[in-house]
C-alpha cells in the first residue's frame, strides 16, 4: 500500500523520527501561542526554508498535500472579508503552517520508523496491551486493507453484472460480512500456529 | 483471544475501506463517504471496548502516514487541520455507540440505530464542532453551521448501520460481539 512518505530522499529523512516529532510538538505549541500575523510569518519562515531546501519536486508535493485545507481557507477568508474582521489572517497563517509542518514530518519519516515510535510509546501499557498483540494487529490491518478493498470492488462488480443500477450502499453488508469471515479465518489460522499471546 | 484481536484488526481495515470506496451516492445524490459508517459499525458490532480499540488502531496507522482517511488524507497533518475534533471524536463515538448496544437489551435494530445516531452523530459532531470552532476561531453556532449539511447523511448512515448490524445478528450471530 502507498504511504504518504515522500519517495524523494531528503536530508530530513535521515533525522530520527522521535526528534522530528518532539520538534513538531514544540513548533505547533509555539504557533498557537503567537497572535500577530507578522510573528506567525516569522515562525513559518524556517519551515518554508526547510521545505524549499528539500528540492523542487518535494516542495510541490508539500503544497499538494495542503489541498484538503482549501475549503476551510475559502470559508474563513470569505467570512472575515464580509464581516471586515482582521483576525482571519493569523488563523489562516497558523492553520496552514501547522498542517504543513506536520505533513513535513510525515513525508520525511518512513512508516516503519513511525510504527516503531508508536510501539515505544505503547510500551508502558504492556500489562494491558501486550506489545506483540499490538504489532500483530497493526500488521493485520495494513495487510487486510488492500485485500478488503479488492473484495469490495469484486462485490460491486458482481452487482453491476446483474443490475443496471449503481451498487451504492448495497455492497455494505457483503463487505462487512467479508471482513467478519476473514477475521474468523485469520483467528483460526493464528490459533493453529500457537496463538497470539 | 485471537478472535478479539483479528476482529479489531479487520474492523480497523473496514473503516479504511469504507473511506476509500468511491463515495456512496444516496437517493438524492448527496455524496457521502462511508467512513463514519465504519465508526458506527465498530461500536454496534464489536461493542464499546473493542470498537474503540479498532478505531484507535485505524487512527494510529493513519497518523503514522497511511492515507486511510476519506479523500486519501492521513499523516500528522490531520491533527493540525480544522477537522481534528472529528479525529479525536472517532474512538469516543465508537465507544458510546457500543456502550448503548451492550447495555440496552431491546431488539437489535432499534437499539443499533439509536446507538449509531447518538454515538456517530451527536457525540461525534459535538466534539468535531468544538474542534472546528477552536481551530478556525469561530463561535460554536458558526461552526455548527459548517457541520450541519453533513448531518443529513449521518442520519441515513445511522439507519444503515442499524440494518447492517441486524443482518449480521441474523447471518453471523456469533460475530455480534457487542451482544455476545
Where exactly are the structural domains of chain B?
2-175
Angle separating helix axes A70-83 and B124-136, nearest 10 degrees:
60
A156 and A105 in a common domain: no
A82 and A157 in a common domain: no
A99 and A37 in a common domain: yes
**Inter-chain CB proximity A177 and B168 less than 8 Å:** yes
d(CA A87, CA A107): 31
The pLDDT value recorded for residue B26 is 47
> Does any domain span residue A179?
yes
The pLDDT value recorded for residue A26 is 94
A167 and A75 in a common domain: no
- Give the three cell numbers for residue A67: 489541498
A69 and A49 in a common domain: yes
Q: What is the mean pLDDT of residues A56-83?
A: 89
Q: Which parts of B65-139 fold into alpha helices (H)?
A: 84-103, 108-117, 124-136
| Mean residue pLDDT across chain A | 90
Of A64, A86, A121, the position where a domain reaches its end is: A121
A131 and A113 in a common domain: no
Are residues B50 and B7 in contact, defined by beta-carbon separation less than 8 angstroms?
A: yes
B102-128, pLDDT tens digit by residue? 999 999 999 999 999 999 999 999 999
A81 and A149 in a common domain: no
How many CB atoms neighbour CB A174 within 10 A? Answer: 18
Q: For B2-175, CATH number?
A: 1.10.1760.20
**Inter-chain CB proximity A149 and B79 less than 8 Å:** no
Are residues B69 and B122 in contact, defined by beta-carbon separation less than 8 angstroms?
A: no
Domain membership of residue A185 as a residue range:
126-192
More confident residue, B146 or B169: B169
Interface subset of B 28-57, CB within 8 angstroms of A: 34, 37, 41, 45, 57
| Structure confidence at residue A86 as a pLDDT band (50, 70, 90) | confident
ipTM for this prediction: 0.90
| Burial (0-12, 13-18, 19+ Cβ within 10 Å), A83 | exposed
Residue of chain A whose Cα is closest to the Cα of B60: A118
Of A121, A143, A158, the position where a domain reaches its end is: A121
More confident residue, B3 or B91: B91
Task: Name residues whose C-beta falls within 8 Å of residue B85's C-beta, 6 or more positions apart in sequence.
Answer: B127, B128, B129, B130, B131, B132, B134, B135
Residue of chain B whose Cα is closest to the Cα of A98: B80
| Mean residue pLDDT across chain B | 90
Closest CA to B96 of B42, B161, B140: B42
The pLDDT value recorded for residue B23 is 59
| Structure confidence at residue A1 as a pLDDT band (50, 70, 90) | low
Amino acid at each position: 500500500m502507498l504511504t504518504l512518505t515522500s519517495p524523494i530522499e531528503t536530508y530530513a529523512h535521515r533525522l530520527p523520527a522521535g526528534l522530528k516529532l518532539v520538534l513538531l510538538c514544540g513548533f505547533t505549541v509555539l504557533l498557537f501561542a503567537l497572535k500577530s500575523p507578522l510573528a506567525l510569518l516569522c515562525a513559518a519562515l524556517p519551515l518554508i526554508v526547510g521545505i524549499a531546501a528539500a528540492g523542487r519536486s518535494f516542495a510541490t508535493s508539500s503544497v499538494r498535500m495542503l489541498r484538503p485545507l482549501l475549503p476551510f481557507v475559502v470559508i474563513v477568508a470569505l467570512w472575515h472579508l464580509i464581516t471586515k474582521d482582521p483576525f482571519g489572517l493569523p488563523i489562516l497563517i497558523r492553520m496552514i503552517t501547522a498542517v504543513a509542518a506536520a505533513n513535513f514530518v510525515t513525508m520525511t519519516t518512513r512508516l516503519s520508523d513511525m510504527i516503531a515510535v508508536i510501539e515505544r510509546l505503547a510500551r508502558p501499557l504492556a500489562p494491558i496491551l501486550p506489545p506483540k498483540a499490538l504489532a500483530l494487529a497493526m500488521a493485520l490491518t495494513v495487510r487486510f486493507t488492500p485485500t478488503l478493498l479488492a473484495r469490495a470492488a469484486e462485490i460491486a462488480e458482481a452487482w453491476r453484472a446483474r443490475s443496471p443500477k449503481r451498487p451504492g450502499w448495497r455492497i455494505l453488508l457483503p463487505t462487512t460480512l467479508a471482513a467478519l469471515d476473514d477475521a474468523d479465518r485469520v483467528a483460526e489460522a493464528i490459533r493453529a500456529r500457537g496463538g497470539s499471546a | 483471544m485471537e478472535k478479539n484481536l483479528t476482529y479489531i484488526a479487520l474492523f480497523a481495515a473496514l473503516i479504511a475501506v469504507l473511506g476509500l470506496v468511491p463515495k456512496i451516492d444516496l437517493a438524492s445524490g448527496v455524496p457521502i463517504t462511508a467512513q463514519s459508517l465504519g465508526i458506527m459499525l465498530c461500536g454496534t458490532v464489536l461493542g464499546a471496548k473493542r470498537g474503540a480499540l479498532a478505531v484507535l488502531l485505524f487512527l494510529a496507522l493513519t497518523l503514522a502516514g497511511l492515507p486511510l482517511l476519506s479523500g486519501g488524507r492521513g499523516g500528522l497533518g490531520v491533527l493540525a487541520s480544522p477537522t481534528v475534533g472529528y479525529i479525536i471524536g472517532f474512538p469516543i463515538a465508537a465507544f458510546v455507540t457500543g456502550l448503548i448496544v451492550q447495555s440496552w437489551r431491546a431488539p437489535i435494530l432499534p437499539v443499533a440505530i439509536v446507538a449509531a445516531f447518538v454515538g456517530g452523530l451527536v457525540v461525534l459532531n459535538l466534539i468535531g464542532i468544538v474542534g472546528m470552532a477552536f481551530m478556525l476561531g469561530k463561535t460554536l453556532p458558526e461552526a455548527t453551521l459548517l457541520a450541519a449539511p453533513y448531518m443529513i447523511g449521518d442520519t441515513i448512515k445511522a439507519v444503515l448501520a442499524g440494518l447492517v448490524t441486524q443482518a449480521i445478528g441474523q447471518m453471523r450471530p456469533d460475530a455480534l460481539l457487542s451482544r455476545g
